Chain A
Amino acid sequence: MKRSQFWDHVVLVLGALFMLVPVVYALMTSSHDAVSIYKDGLQLSPGGHFVDTYKQVLTEAGGFTKSVTGLTMLWNSLVLGLGFAFGKIIISMLAAYAIVYFRFPLGTFFFWIIFSTLLLPLEVRILPSYEIVQGLGMANTYSGLIIPLIASATGTFYFRQFFKSVPDELVEAARIDGAGPLKFFIDILVPLSKTMIAAIFIIMFVFGWNQYLWPTLITTDESLFTLVRGMKQILQVWIGAQIPDTNQAMALAVLAMLPPVLIVVIFQSWFVKGLVESEK
């Protein structure tokens, strides 16, 4: 028993290192100066320029994207992540409530319309989506960035599954007490869904923050770039430079991964529960 456990640990440590080392390289390299990275390659030990580099990428326009600071990009990422998560939760909770708790003409029809969105990811209808959103004058706006992403019914699907597991007796009791559908929703169903809402919020925030293709198409104005959206520009400017500012590129990559990673690690149990439960 002891011996087999030893090899288990060896495999797990190797696995953990495989996941960890690339990010350690990114973090450590961002604390060196550009010239020494150019000479010696990526770094695995801390250097003395941590504060300078991060101050520079956060506050100075120029460097990578030429017209925006890292702080602006961080803000845009936050708007996209939060806007997407809140928008998705509100809209999908309302829709799932209607689908599960009401009997009405065309109910089944609407249900299938909404769930048809699960069949086709944004990537396969990207060109017409872009043209329509641009035609509506929503290119280079936060709403054009966020709302089309909400069209997929994943959230509605999760909430529908959850609402179906809520005992019927609660509705009966509420009806006997004279509570209408609105009161039941606000006073009973929403408080009951708290954990579910938190789990979905985490998943959706990470999903929104990490969006790449859609922001790449719909925001051409650099003041609306998110960090993730800016990755390619960062790389392209980096290629063009005489002595590439690898430290700054890595610093922006670290900033782009930090918030979602922190949220996932801190709220790990909720997040894992939400992820696994929602697929049942």
Chain B
Amino acid sequence: MKRVQFSHPLMPYMLLLPQLAIVGVFFLWPAAEAIRASFYLEDPFGFGSTFVGLDNFKDVVSASEYSRTAWFTLIFSAAVTFFSLSIALLLAVKADNVIKGASTYRTLLMWVYAIAPPVAGLVGVMLFDQHIGPLNDLAHALGWNMQIGVNYFDTAFAMTVIAVWKQIPINFIFFLSGLQSVPKSVQEAAAVDCRSSSRRFWTVTFPLLAPTSFFLLIINITYALFDTFGIIDLVLKGEPGNNPVTLVYKVFLDGFRGNDLGGSSAQSVILMILVFALTVVQFRMIERRVHYS
């Protein structure tokens, strides 16, 4: 906080009022409602609700479909995070290296940031389409009988590729800015000591990128969990059938299609705990970085 501050009886409250009102009505109330509903069994016809304790959670966790979804979410998140981070890191290292055309490459590699996930999903679905999609033709040429929307694995593959494509730019931006902030003197000293540029990278540059990488790791997990909703919805064309879905997509399906309010809320609360844990880890990391720098 500031050393010098204003004091005024009413003004700070008036300044805070709009934000507090919105947070209260559109955040605290729904969040509390989600937690409350997770302990109740709602009558689907609207005739009140009964308190059932942890039954909703037990039902959710014991359902085989839920563990299948949880496993898929885990593998999907890991794949998206790993591939989008490593491709972005490779490109950022190269873009930091080159002298000619550096700014052109930067623009070409970051502009996809602005494309919405469902729009990426639509274009992706068309590219993987069984009749007109060039990627589908390519798979067939390689002897892979790809069937998006029919085959579980193929659908998961398409989702992952689209999700990685969409996430590379933001990782690239952060990695590049991280690389550019590595002091010139450190780089030169390392160059004197060690001739192998790849060893220099892993022993000197990469550790200096650790805070950026950790921050990006959290961002990417959050992205894979939540922001891929639009991609998944488009790849499934709104008809999940027997295809893979993520945990967030399942909250949406059970709540809005299945009318299972209690079950959907219990799933929301489980996700809340997950996100809460991720955010706490992230904040502690940021605090630590501030202390050391």
Chain A interface residues (CB < 8 Å from chain B): 4-5, 8-9, 11-12, 15-16, 18-20, 22-23, 25-26, 29, 37-38, 40-42, 90-92, 94-95, 97-104, 107, 110, 113-114, 116-121, 123-129, 131-133, 136, 147-148, 150-153, 156, 164, 168, 171-172, 175, 180-182, 184, 206, 209-213, 216-217, 227-228, 231-232, 234-236, 239, 246, 249-250, 253, 256-257, 260-261, 263-265, 268, 272, 275-276, 279
Q: A235-B237, A261-B111, A268-B107 are in contact. Are A121 and B226 (CB under 8 A)?
A: yes
Assess the A132–B19 pair: CB atoms within 8 A. no
15 further A-B pairs in the complex, CB-CB below 8 A; given A124-B272, A246-B132? A15-B168, A22-B124, A23-B123, A101-B5, A107-B12, A123-B251, A127-B37, A151-B26, A180-B6, A210-B119, A211-B116, A216-B233, A236-B238, A256-B119, A265-B111
Whole-angstrom distance between the Cβ of A182 and the nearest chain B Cβ: 7
Residue of B nearest to A110 (CB): B16
Q: A147-B26, A153-B23, A164-B2 are in contact. Are A11 and B114 (CB under 8 A)?
A: no
Assess the B215–A124 pair: CB atoms within 8 A. no
The residues of A that contact B119 with a CB separation of less than 8 Å are 210, 227-228, 231, 253, 256-257
Q: List 8 A-B contacts (CB under 8 A).
A: A40-B132, A120-B272, A121-B222, A128-B37, A168-B2, A228-B119, A231-B118, A279-B215
Does B7 reach chain A (CB closer than 8 Å)?
yes
Assess the B15–A97 pair: CB atoms within 8 A. yes
Q: A92-B19, A235-B237 are in contact. Are A113 and B28 (CB under 8 A)?
A: yes
Whole-angstrom distance between the Cβ of B100 and the nearest chain A Cβ: 8
Does B27 reach chain A (CB closer than 8 Å)?
yes
The residues of A that contact B113 with a CB separation of less than 8 Å are 206, 264
Does B141 reach chain A (CB closer than 8 Å)?
no
The residues of B that contact A99 with a CB separation of less than 8 Å are 16
Residue of B nearest to A152 (CB): B27
Bound Cα distance A264, B131 (Å): 34
Whole-angstrom distance between the Cβ of B41 and the nearest chain A Cβ: 15
Bound Cα distance A12, B172 (Å): 12
Assess the B177–A272 pair: CB atoms within 8 A. yes
Q: A102-B5, A104-B7, A151-B23 are in contact. Are A128 and B265 (CB under 8 A)?
A: yes
Assess the B23–A123 pair: CB atoms within 8 A. no
Residue of B nearest to A13 (CB): B105
Assess the B26–A128 pair: CB atoms within 8 A. no
Assess the B2–A15 pair: CB atoms within 8 A. no
Assess the A123–B122 pair: CB atoms within 8 A. no
**Cβ contact of A95, chosen from B15, B26, B28, cutoff 8 A:** B15
The 7 closest A-B pairs by CB, nearest first: A210-B116, A128-B33, A98-B15, A260-B114, A95-B19, A102-B12, A128-B30
Interface residues of B in 6-24 (CB under 8 A from A): 6-8, 11-13, 15-16, 18-20, 22-23
Whole-angstrom distance between the Cβ of A104 and the nearest chain B Cβ: 5
**Cβ contact of B105, chosen from A16, A152, A257, cutoff 8 A:** A16
Q: A25-B123, A102-B8, A164-B2 are in contact. Are A151 and B98 (CB under 8 A)?
A: no
Assess the B94–A11 pair: CB atoms within 8 A. yes
Q: A127-B251, A127-B268, A151-B26 are in contact. Are A120 and B31 (CB under 8 A)?
A: yes
Q: A127-B264, A279-B215 are in contact. Are A156 and B173 (CB under 8 A)?
A: no
Max chain A CB contacts within 10 Å: which of B122, B132, B226? B122
Assess the A253–B123 pair: CB atoms within 8 A. yes
Whole-angstrom distance between the Cβ of A143 and the nearest chain B Cβ: 11
Q: A102-B7, A147-B22, A212-B230 are in contact. Are A132 and B91 (CB under 8 A)?
A: no
The residues of A that contact B85 with a CB separation of less than 8 Å are none
Does B34 reach chain A (CB closer than 8 Å)?
yes
The residues of B that contact A209 with a CB separation of less than 8 Å are 116
Does B51 reach chain A (CB closer than 8 Å)?
no
Does B87 reach chain A (CB closer than 8 Å)?
yes
Assess the A272–B173 pair: CB atoms within 8 A. yes
Bound Cα distance A29, B177 (Å): 35
**Cβ contact of B256, chosen from A211, A217, A236, cutoff 8 A:** A217
Bound Cα distance A9, B108 (Å): 13
The residues of A that contact B20 with a CB separation of less than 8 Å are 95, 110, 113-114
**Cβ contact of B31, chosen from A107, A125, A213, A260, cutoff 8 A:** A125
Assess the B98–A8 pair: CB atoms within 8 A. yes
The residues of B that contact A180 with a CB separation of less than 8 Å are 6
B78-97 to A contact mask, C-beta < 8 Å, 1/0: 00000000010011001101
**Cβ contact of A8, chosen from B2, B97, B111, cutoff 8 A:** B97
Assess the A261–B165 pair: CB atoms within 8 A. no
Q: A42-B127, A156-B19 are in contact. Are A100 and B268 (CB under 8 A)?
A: no
Does B276 reach chain A (CB closer than 8 Å)?
yes
Whole-angstrom distance between the Cβ of B261 and the nearest chain A Cβ: 7
Q: A19-B112, A42-B132, A260-B114 are in contact. Are A232 and B165 (CB under 8 A)?
A: no
